[in-house]
Amino acid sequence: MNKQKLIYPFVFVTCLFLITGSSILQQNIITPDLTKIAEGDWQLFNRTAKVIKENDKTGVYFEAKPGSGGAWLKEIEFTNGVIECDIKGKNAPGRSFVGIALRGVDEKTYDAVYFRPFNFKSDDPARRGHGVQYISHPANTWSKLRTEHPNVYESAVDPVPDANAFFHVRLVIEKPKVSVYVNDAKEPCLVVDELTDRKGGWVGLWMGNNSDGTFANLKIAQATKKN
Composition of the chain by helix, strand, coil, percent to 5:
10, 45, 45
Residue 202 is predicted with a pLDDT of 95
Domains of the chain, earliest start first: 33-218 (2.60.120.560)
pLDDT, tens digit, for every residue of 122-173?
999 999 999 999 999 999 999 999 999 999 999 999 999 999 999 999 999 9
Q: How far is CA 196 from the centre of its chain?
A: 17
- Label residue 221 by pLDDT band (50, 70, 90): very high
- Which range, of 6-10, 30-34, 37-41, 175-179, averages the lowest pLDDT? 6-10
pLDDT, tens digit, for every residue of 93-135?
999 999 999 999 999 999 999 999 999 999 999 999 999 999 9
pLDDT, tens digit, for every residue of 64-92?
999 999 999 988 889 999 999 999 999 99
Average pLDDT, the chain: 88
pLDDT, tens digit, for every residue of 1-23?
444 444 333 333 333 343 433 44
- Which range, of 154-158, 183-187, 220-224, averages the lowest pLDDT? 220-224
Task: List strand residue ranges (DSSP E) for 20-131, in order.
Answer: 22-26, 43-45, 49-54, 57-62, 69-73, 76-88, 98-104, 110-115
